[in-house]
Amino acid sequence: MKNMEELINITPFDKGNPFRVPENYFEEFPDKIMERIHETKIKDVKPGYFLRKFLYPAAAVAAIIVFTLFVINYGNENLNVNDLAENQTDTADAASSFVKENYIIEAITIDEKDTIEGDDIINYLVDDNINENLIADAF
């Protein structure tokens, strides 16, 4: 407090406010700020609106495409959704299941047809030092 008294003693001015504001500033400010707040509220809502309008439908379309590709892909191998579910839940009994054995055999056959060439068989026999006599002995 001593400092303030000293300051008042050495300065010949009152503490009145020397600043002014434009006319009606304080009368108009509350409405202006509420307007800006309203704009801010709209901006804040926009991401949600964007999600609803574009992102969710886009996600739904993507899910449908993925599902369709999945079904087509497995459909070519004579598998349907039920088969897949059965495979997943009943893996332990897969070997004993006639239906599944057929699928396995079919899958192996398709694989061999698609991937194993005559040269591959010869290369395998040469690499492992297997000759025709050994094969004949085996049978």
Partner 1 sequence: MQVRDDADILKDIAVLQLRDKAFNELVKKYQGRLYWHIRKITVSHDDANDVMQNTFIKIWKNIDSFHGESKLYTWLYRIATNESITFLNSKKRFVHPNIDEVNNDMIARLESDSYFDGNEAQLKLQQAILRLPDKQRIVFNMRYFDEISYEDMSEILETSVGALKASFHHAVKKVEEFVKNN
Which residue ranges make up the site for partner 1 (CB under 8 A)?
3-4, 6-7, 10-13, 15-22, 25-26, 29-30, 32-34, 36-37, 40
Find the shortest distance in angstroms from Cβ 11 to partner 1.
5
Encoded tokens for 4: 């303030």
For 43, which DSSP code? H
Q: Pick between residue 26 and residue 139 the one whose CB is nearest to partner 1.
A: 26
Find the shortest distance in angstroms from Cβ 33 to partner 1.
5
Separation CA 129–CA 97 (nearest Å)? 37
Q: Pick between residue 3 and residue 82 the one whose CB is nearest to partner 1.
A: 3
Find the shortest distance in angstroms from Cβ 21 to partner 1.
6
Q: Pick between residue 23 and residue 127 the one whose CB is nearest to partner 1.
A: 23
What secondary structure does DSSP assign to 46-98, as a single string?
HHHHHIIIIIHHHHHHHHHHHHHHHHHHHHTTT--HHHHHHHHH-GGGGGG-H
Find the shortest distance in angstroms from Cβ 27 to partner 1.
10
